[in-house]
Amino acid sequence: MEGCLRVGQPAPEFTATAVIDQQFKTIKLADYQGKYLVLFFYSLDFTFVCPTEVIAFSDRAEEFNAINAEILGVSVDSEFAHLAWIQTERKLGGVGDITYGLVSDLKKEISTAYNVLDPEAGIALRGLFIIDPDGIIQHATINNLSFGRSIDETLRTLKAIQHIQRHPGEVCPVDWQEGDKTMMPDPEKSKVYFASL
């Protein structure tokens, strides 16, 4: 599987320990069947860009939950490091109480399966995967470690995925936002969209 993970394929299954509501829980990917899952990887707890992302996803989790989506963060830290980070105030470099689980990938098996592990550094790149209710990867991006992701873009992408899955045969043009016009991928029918520009 390594190196060939693609959109349209089943997401690699995993079982791992996560910190959820300050408790250690064993979770698996299959637990999220029937929901969309935003699975994002980050390098390490107690770093610099990572807490900005973890906090931002937490602060906006209700927007994801409202459209049948859950969020999970994954790093190669232990569950004990995750718990300590959650129990550290935001103003001191922690993330405080967050609204979703942080998964421990201490053995680096999940990062390897999702092809985001930087083997030289021993940590995950900023991979983000949107997995649909059937366990199929619908979106994948990987950033290097120096810059964070956009919550707005993740939410926009998720809504576009949901729209095309609810409306087979339609496609979403550039910068599509919920409520915008879509088009039909057909030489004639697409002219309806282009004529409206």
In DSSP terms, 117 is beta-bridged to: 124
Taking only the tens place, the pLDDT of each residue in 19-67 is 999 999 999 999 999 999 999 999 999 999 999 999 999 999 999 999 9
Does residue 54 belong to any structural domain of this protein?
yes
Does residue 30 belong to any structural domain of this protein?
yes
Instruction: Note the pLDDT of residue 1.
Output: 39
Taking only the tens place, the pLDDT of each residue in 83-104 is 999 999 999 999 999 999 999 9
Instruction: Note the pLDDT of residue 2.
Output: 46
Does residue 170 belong to any structural domain of this protein?
no
Residue with tokens 């610099």: 48
Does residue 178 belong to any structural domain of this protein?
no
Dihedral of the CA atoms 42, 47, 49, 52 (nearest 10)?
Answer: 90
Does residue 138 belong to any structural domain of this protein?
yes
Task: In whole angstroms, give the CA distance from residue 103 to residue 106.
Answer: 9
Taking only the tens place, the pLDDT of each residue in 108-144 is 999 999 999 999 999 999 999 999 999 999 999 999 8
Does residue 191 belong to any structural domain of this protein?
no
| Tokens coding 102 | 């942080």
Task: In whole angstroms, give the CA distance from residue 21 to residue 115.
Answer: 28
Which residue of the set 18, 20, 50, 116 is catalytic?
Answer: 50
How many domains is the chain built from? 1
| pTM for the predicted model, two decimal places | 0.94
Task: In whole angstroms, give the CA distance from residue 122 to residue 124.
Answer: 7
In a 13 Å sphere around the CA of 163, the CA atoms on its Cβ side amount to 18
Does residue 167 belong to any structural domain of this protein?
no
Question: Can you give the CATH number for the domain in which 25 is found?
Answer: 3.40.30.10
Residue span of the structural domain in which 120 resides: 15-149
Does residue 47 belong to any structural domain of this protein?
yes
Answer yes or no: 172 catalytic: no
